[in-house]
Amino acid sequence: MSDGPGVDVERALGETEAIDPPESFVRQANVSDPSIHEAFASNWPECWERAADLLDWESAYDAVLDDSDEPFYEWFTGGKLNAAYNCVDRHVEAGGKNRAAIKWVGKRDETRTYTYQDLHREVNEFAAALRDLGVGEDDVVTLYMPMIPELPVAMLACARIGAPHSVVFAGFSADALATRLARADSEYLVTCDGYYRRGTAFNLKSKADNALLDVNHDVRETVVVDRLGDEMGHHLPSHQRDYGDLLDDHAGERVDPVPRDAEDMLFLMYTSGTTGEPKGVTHATGGYLAQAAWTSHAVLDLEPEDTHWCSADIGWITGHTYVVYGPLALGATTTMYEGTPDYPDRDRVWEIVDTNAVDVFYTAPTAIRAFMKWGEEYPERHDLSSLRLLGTVGEPINPRAWQWYYEHVGGGECPVVDTWWQTETGGMMISTLPGVDAMKPGSAGPPLPGIDAEVVDAAGDPVDAGGAGYLTVAKPWPGMLRTLYGDDDRFVEECWRRDDDGGYRYVAGDGATVDGDGYVTVLGRIDDVLNVSGRRLGTMEIESAIVGVEGVAEAAVVGADDGPDTAVFAYVSTENGYDASEELRERIVETVGETIAPFARPERVVFAPDLPKTRSGKIMRRLLTAVASGDDLGNTSALRNPEVVGEIQAAVRDE
Ligand code: WTA
């Protein structure tokens, strides 16, 4: 926390008028009593029992919060529960067996519906299969799968037998998968032959196979889902298992859900941090599920009758919490879509909303900005009257995009919730309650009840209304990460700071402002993490990929403004004897694609004779960001080599 957050306060405070939630919504909302904020604040931490009450516990917890070993907080200690039981069995037992649990949309005209009964059967069969393959409690199972129903089935099968899952986004490269398998010591992999994008089959299996060649520990079992049929030829080597065959072998089998301690790990998920190493964020069963269910109830307003569509990929935390665990814990119907929003036409999303009578739609600002650019004629082609509530997550949303979403998708009748949270927080943290709070386009809203989010200055003191600072959380919350897998020290160091009174405060890595009503406007990342189209990328991760390219001496990666979006800019200096050639540029871009993911590839590679450094030898990123975005450079007096600045500016212009 040295430099002040580089934030655009003017933009943030360009205040728009508050909009009250529509009466019709408030009347039917799950939460509509304005006293809830105060009720939670005055009864903290016991207020969180209300979230835990949404779950079925195998045995009751002794304490809501155990803070005896800060910051290793524990929630609902002593309680036992099973996440798969909560997301599947109890709805079947309560008479909901024929209700749709998952509605899946694949290629054109390809759909599959899993009722809760179907889900129950397949989760049990796959759980039996995993157990048979040797998966025991606490063994990490890695899931490298596209958006097909077998992914949530596999997650729930793992949860059923108490094996934490580690889902790796299918867009990640073989190298990235290998790193995640190795770091989690994961001996089991469930993957898939491929998936369809824009009507074309994509191979996933070859990436998985390459990763398996790279991993130097023993991956004992690999299970492969046949998604493509004959398209890629589904010939598995004898040591790999076919998912369908496993289900057949275990047809009709039942596996009792394993009672898990509330604090037992439900899953881990690798995300980008401020070092080159992805961090394994671990989530505990009780607190995570309670917050997932509670926020789905209070913010997404879900009821069992509802069809919910969160358009995020399950490979990211948003998909974990709001495609899988939250909606299913409440017994609602969750929608999954394998494809892209503009294929075969730009009305695909609205067609899916229309056909499935979606009640609640939750997506990312990048998507909303694309819809806005394409024009309102696309939503207008469809009947969107089933929609009751809209949500956004992943990046700041500009007021214009917010308004467009509100008017052209919601018809001015659906509240829009702008929800701020992170992989580390497990569930939503800052958002208006749609049945209670007025909305301010562009501002996420007040912290949710029970969440003590605060915007503070460098000394850790709350900023005055109108001020900007660091977004932090002063008290723990149930869905918080428990540690970084295998690295408690990094967890304490990277995620927390100590206040003067010795208390721990969670540091989110975002800059934010707060207004007189306590509404928080999130401005973006202030650490070395980029947010590109709602996807988190560590600058160090990309830099280490680039410096691995022969001929590269040094690299610095920053995010540059590209309209309301962020583009990845790489500044590279070459080794003696190597030219800043087009070929080298291509190799850099390719390498990032191969070692991380195609979406991480730099938009621009700028060659520079040297990178701007402070006297202590640190690359001055703030300056590189300003150059990339064409902003004022500010004070450069701390530079050891100020002469390179002009050269870099010229390189950016000429490139
Ligand atoms: C950003 C995604 C502004 C933020 C759930 C955060 C947001 C990062 C919002 C976490 C929002 C998320 N307004 N920014 N409503 N929601 N962010 O871990 O920078 O993939 O730190 O979790 O996304 O990204 P992650």
Q: What is the rounded CA–CA span in Å between residue 317 and residue 425? A: 10
DSSP string across 590-640? HHHHHHT-GGGS-SEEEE-SS--BBTTS-B-HHHHHHHHHT------TTBS
Tell me the CA–centroid distance for residue 406 and ligand 1, in Å.
20
> Tell me, what's the pLDDT at 618?
85
Indicate if ligand 1 lies below 6 Å from the C-beta of 536.
yes
Tokens coding 500: 């003067």
Which residue, by CA, sits nearest to atom 24 of ligand 1? Answer: 422
Mean pLDDT value across the chain: 94
Residue 405 DSSP code: I
* pLDDT mean over 86-99: 98
Tell me the CA–centroid distance for residue 165 and ligand 1, in Å.
22
User: Given a cut of 60, is residue 9 above it in pLDDT?
Assistant: no
Candidate of 291, 366, 432, 522 to mutate for ligand 1, largest count of ligand atoms within 8 Å of Cβ? 522
User: Given a cut of 50, is residue 10 above it in pLDDT?
Assistant: no
Indicate if ligand 1 lies below 6 Å from the C-beta of 320.
no
Which residue, by CA, sits nearest to atom 14 of ligand 1? Answer: 395
Indicate if ligand 1 lies below 6 Å from the C-beta of 421.
yes
Structural contact between residues 541 and 534, judged by C-beta atoms closer than 8 angstroms:
no
The strand pairing partners of 208, in sequence order, are none
| Atom of ligand 1 at shortest range from CA of 392 | 15
Q: Which of 318-327, 502-511, 600-609, 636-645 has the lowest mean pLDDT?
A: 636-645
Burial of 22 (0-12, 13-18, 19+ CB in 10 A): middle
Candidate of 428, 536, 599 to mutate for ligand 1, largest count of ligand atoms within 8 Å of Cβ? 536
Indicate if ligand 1 lies below 6 Å from the C-beta of 471.
no
| Atom of ligand 1 at shortest range from CA of 524 | 19
Indicate if ligand 1 lies below 6 Å from the C-beta of 530.
no
Tell me the CA–centroid distance for residue 626 and ligand 1, in Å.
22
Terminal CA-CA length for the chain: 34
pLDDT tens figures, 242-284: 999 999 999 999 999 999 999 999 999 999 988 888 999 999 9
Domains and their CATH numbers in the chain: 528-654 (3.30.300.30)
| Atom of ligand 1 at shortest range from CA of 535 | 20
> Tell me, what's the pLDDT at 1?
36
Burial of 299 (0-12, 13-18, 19+ CB in 10 A): buried
pLDDT tens figures, 274-324: 888 899 999 999 999 999 999 999 999 999 999 999 999 999 999 999 999
Tell me the CA–centroid distance for residue 552 and ligand 1, in Å.
32
DSSP string across 258-327? PPEETTSEEEEEEE--SSSSPEEEEEEHHHHHHHHHHHHHHTS---TT-EEEE-S-TTSHHHIIIIIIHH
Tell me the CA–centroid distance for residue 534 and ligand 1, in Å.
7
Structural contact between residues 334 and 323, judged by C-beta atoms closer than 8 angstroms:
yes
Angle between the 582-595 and 539-547 helix axes, to the nearest 10 degrees? Answer: 130
Residue 46 DSSP code: G
> Tell me, what's the pLDDT at 563?
82
pLDDT tens figures, 184-201: 999 999 999 999 999 999
Q: What is the rounded CA–CA span in Å between residue 590 and residue 570? A: 13
pLDDT tens figures, 564-597: 888 999 999 999 999 999 999 999 999 999 999 9
Candidate of 310, 395, 428, 494 to mutate for ligand 1, largest count of ligand atoms within 8 Å of Cβ? 395
Indicate if ligand 1 lies below 6 Å from the C-beta of 316.
yes
Tell me the CA–centroid distance for residue 541 and ligand 1, in Å.
19
3-state secondary structure of 219: coil
Indicate if ligand 1 lies below 6 Å from the C-beta of 526.
no
Candidate of 300, 313, 422 to mutate for ligand 1, largest count of ligand atoms within 8 Å of Cβ? 422
- Residue 234 φ then ψ, to 5°: -100, 65
Indicate if ligand 1 lies below 6 Å from the C-beta of 312.
no
pTM: 0.94
Going by C-alpha positions, the residue among 149, 164, 147 that lies closest to residue 116 is: 149
Indicate if ligand 1 lies below 6 Å from the C-beta of 566.
no
User: Given a cut of 70, is residue 14 above it in pLDDT?
Assistant: no
pLDDT tens figures, 15-42: 568 999 999 999 999 999 999 999 999 9
